[in-house]
Structure 1
Amino acid sequence: MDRRDRNIGTPAWKGPLSVAALALAGLTLAGCGGMGLGPKDPAESALACPKVSIVRDLSEVTAFRPGGRDLTDLESRAALVDFTGNCEYASDGVTVNVNVYLVAERGPALKGDTAKYTYFVALAKPDDTLVSKVYFDTDVTFPGGQPRAGTKEELAPKIPLPKDANAKDWKVYLGFQLTPEQLTFNRAQMKRQ
């Protein structure tokens, strides 16, 4: 028998999103987070979802054309802006259904209408020992020359736990897979804020 914990939201579909839809989704999620919309049954509350978080240093990616570093060399930038989901307990472990929302902005140096990004989902034990890290490639297409676009990615990492073991102290980390230069750029931008 599967048990569901809806503490981190509910999953939906995968596909392109408008920036307005992403903003609305973010406002809706922010409004529901602290309103006790989790399970009503105390037995279901005992088996909770792991903590899902977007790694701050890896939440954005900025891509410049090779050799460029100023605004005219910007191909695109993207951000992991939010997530929703739930988890399902089964006899062989816990499946964490996560929808990740990505918003991208095209730059003047982007050739074509599509930007490509790589992000990851990492699972960690309660002591922060990394168990797995899986990479995903995604494309964002800017329709009709629009400057912004977004996607929703559906993921389902599985935590291998024995029956009735609680995943509440496990962690799911989301972030872009960055080059050392991109990470340095992100950290420099954060210091300016």
Structure 2
Amino acid sequence: MSRHRPAIPFLCTAALLLLAAGGLAGCTRPDAFAPACPQLTLLPEGADLTRFRGTGRDVTDLVIDAHLTAVPANCHNADKAGRKVEAKLKVAMSVARGPAMQGRDVTVPYFIAVTENGRVLDRQEYAMRAQFPPNTDRMDQVSPEVSLIFPVSAEKSAAAYQIWVSFQLTPEELAYNRRSR
């Protein structure tokens, strides 16, 4: 009997090592660590939207004054093989109602574009509706979540892509932003 006693501690140690190895194996799953994310950029000339009524540029002609304030985002592997990364993001903006605005509702257009090496791969336009309650002339809005899927490989991570966010501006609104900078 004394010959079998040393085997019991060995078996317990071996069982604990196998259990620990099995637990660590879970850490090597493709989604165990957050994957690289695409670079997220606000277009500097498109982060503000100042809309006037008519040709006037006085404060009394101001319809809306909006600013992109944040684009919270996160990434995770979208498949078990690790060949796709999903980026989920929202667009946050501050919208102010100007004296020339008719009514209490306004639709603010913006877009999200994806590029790789300076080439546009996809571009989608969205619209945020702001409904100003009585006695409120400024409000913060957050868009519904947008999901973007990026193909990845061992040679190319999601960091090879860029996500651009901007208001959808008219040529006049873009020129105003350029002059105002």
Q: 1:152 to 1:2 in 2, by over 3 A?
A: farther
Residue range with higher mean Cα deviation, 173-182 or 158-167: 158-167
Q: Give the corresponding residue for 2:84.
A: 93
Q: Give the corresponding residue for 1:59.
A: 47
Counterpart secondary structure, 1:102: strand
Identity, % of aligned pairs? 28
Counterpart secondary structure, 2:66: strand
AA paired with 1:171? Q
Moved over 4 A (4+): 162-165
AA paired with 1:179? T
Q: 1:115 to 1:94 in 2, by over 3 A?
A: same
TM-score with structure 2 setting the length: 0.75
Q: Give the corresponding residue for 1:133.
A: 123
Tell me, in whole angstroms, the C-alpha distance in 2 between the residues paired with 1:102 and 1:69.
22
Tell me, in whole angstroms, the C-alpha distance in 2 between the residues paired with 1:62 and 1:143.
21
Gaps of 5+ in 1: 4-40
- Given that 1:93 and 1:163 are in contact with CA atoms closer than 8 Å, whether structure 2 keeps it comes out as no
AA paired with 2:47? S
**Number of residues of Structure 1 aligned to a counterpart in Structure 2:** 149
- The 5 A counterparts of 1:66-105 are 66-91=54-79, 93-105=84-96
AA paired with 2:36? A
1:159 aligns with 2:150: yes
Q: 1:162 to 1:64 in 2, by over 3 A?
A: same
Counterpart secondary structure, 1:168: helix
Counterpart secondary structure, 2:158: coil
Corresponding residue to 2:166 among 171, 175, 179: 175
Larger radius of gyration: 2
- Given that 1:2 and 1:90 are in contact with CA atoms closer than 8 Å, whether structure 2 keeps it comes out as no
Corresponding residue to 2:98 among 98, 107, 123: 107
AA paired with 2:63? E
Q: 1:2 to 1:156 in 2, by over 3 A?
A: farther
Tell me, in whole angstroms, the C-alpha distance in 2 between the residues paired with 1:145 and 1:73.
19
